[in-house]
Amino acid sequence: MVAGAPSESSWPVRAPPTSAIVIALGVAQIFAWGSSYYLLGALTQPIAAETSWSETWILAGLSLSLLIAGAISPRMGQAVAERGGRNLLAASTLLLAAGLVILANSHAQIVYLVGWMVMGLGMGLGLYDAAFATLGRHFGEASRGPITALTLIAGFSSTVTWPLSLFFLGQVGWRGTCIAYAVIEVALCLPLYLLFAPSIARTARTEPIGAALGNGSPPRDRTYYILGAILTLIAAVNTFVSVNLILILTSFGVPYATAVGLATLLGPSQVLARLGEMFLGRRYHPMVTLTLATGSIATGNILLVFGTAAMLPAVILYGGGAGLAWVARGTVPMAIFGPRTYAVQLGRLARPALIAQALAPAIGGFLLQRIGMVPTLSILAVASSSAFILAVALAIQSPTSGARVR
């Protein structure tokens, strides 16, 4: 534990070692993402086939859940700052499980949406931002390594859960798959959080962090807004590209099988980038990570505009940048705001980013229909390049000097 950090609650009596905390939270994050954000990657077509609902309507459930997650993220950050993350992460598993059970029993569209609304609460309390806030609250300025290691483990979520979803589909159908993930949330993820997620003893709690920051209002500093703009642009671009990558590749005449093969390079690219960050990141400021992430994403998106000639480097660069972007989302706020207000600021910054993730597929689909693939990709290139320029400006403004927003 970081010197001066609050002591842990009496159960467990002694805080688990760092490696145990990171591995436990990483495994739980694999299934948190797999049972929510990645769920429809395997279930959309089976749901549509059984219910005759449109795929657009089915995917709207996920967008709704992301909007709800964004709405509650500031409250999540303040709660973690004041009480630690154990109880919130544990609650997220119960909410995700409840939402999955509702989905499994949804025979009307309104019930389906209610299920995603409940899951949105679970996502707001249980995905990366909540896990980052928990680690930051516990480890303080030493949280960069644990956060990077967490993203490295959780980065295998789609690799693990998509094949698992296909297996469940073959055995029990899409409704049974939802029930199976609900069981995993309660039987596996809940105990992992209760046993290993850090919390704060009541005697160690001080005045509410949100009150100390001025009744929850964000700091009036351009650094805060620049960082928020960067994270929001990245979230929007990454969501659209990740959802539509195979469509983007095939639109340039790439055979479907080849497009799928290229798309599978995203995972290894993200893992390699995060491995590099884990072993080399301590040598440089987290702003360097953010600059590398935005630069790689921008370069990858620019190369996509040029079509088949640059597809391979485009996918690799984009994947590496996307992998680093999540690390930066967790580590840069710590470097800028410091450990005391980290969780609160992270929750606030997550709101516009999650809203962007929710709206990006719909806006991107509208652009594709109206102006076509190349103009849409050009807009993405401009957006990601803008994020890179802002990251460079922020790196110049708040470099290794350690100046922090209060």
Three-state DSSP at 8 gives coil
- Record the tokens describing residue 54, joined without a space: 């449109």
263 touches 385 (CB < 8 A): no
DSSP assignments along 179-223, one per residue: HHHHHHIIIIIHHHHHHHS-B--GGG--S-HHHHTSTTPPPS-HH
Lowest mean pLDDT segment, chosen from 110-124, 252-266, 339-353: 252-266
- Record the tokens describing residue 334, joined without a space: 């710590």
Distance CA 106, CA 109 (A): 7
Closest CA to 99 of 32, 52, 191, 162: 32
130 touches 76 (CB < 8 A): yes
Residue 351 clears pLDDT 80, i.e. is over it? yes
What's the whole-number mean pLDDT along residues 305-332? 89
Amino acid 55: pLDDT: 83
Residue 203 clears pLDDT 90, i.e. is over it? no
Distance CA 236, CA 353 (A): 7
Average pLDDT score, the chain: 86
Amino acid 278: pLDDT: 84
Per-residue model confidence as pLDDT tens digits over 331-349: 999 988 888 889 899 999 9
What's the whole-number mean pLDDT along residues 108-136? 95
Within 8 A by CB and 6+ apart from 175, the residues are 103, 104, 105
Per-residue model confidence as pLDDT tens digits over 38-95: 898 888 889 999 999 988 889 889 999 999 999 999 999 999 998 889 999 999 999 9
Residue 312 clears pLDDT 70, i.e. is over it? yes
H-only helix segments in 252-310 = 256-263, 266-280, 286-305
The residue behind tokens 């798309």 is 263
Q: What does pTM read for this prediction?
A: 0.84
Closest CA to 112 of 178, 158, 157: 178
Q: For each of the domains in the chain, give its residue range(s) and CATH number, in order of start.
A: 18-206 (1.20.1250.20), 213-397 (1.20.1250.20)
CA distances from 300 to 40, 310, 314, 320, 386 (A): 26, 9, 4, 9, 14
Distance CA 319, CA 303 (A): 13
Per-residue model confidence as pLDDT tens digits over 283-294: 888 999 999 999
Lowest mean pLDDT segment, chosen from 111-120, 175-184, 193-202, 382-391: 193-202
Amino acid 11: pLDDT: 43
Distance CA 272, CA 350 (A): 25
Distance CA 209, CA 343 (A): 9
Per-residue model confidence as pLDDT tens digits over 153-171: 988 888 888 889 889 999 9
Residue 406 clears pLDDT 60, i.e. is over it? no
pLDDT band of residue 16 (cuts 50, 70, 90) is: confident
pLDDT band of residue 242 (cuts 50, 70, 90) is: confident
- CA gyration radius, the chain: 20
Closest CA to 348 of 278, 405, 281: 405
Residue 200 clears pLDDT 80, i.e. is over it? no
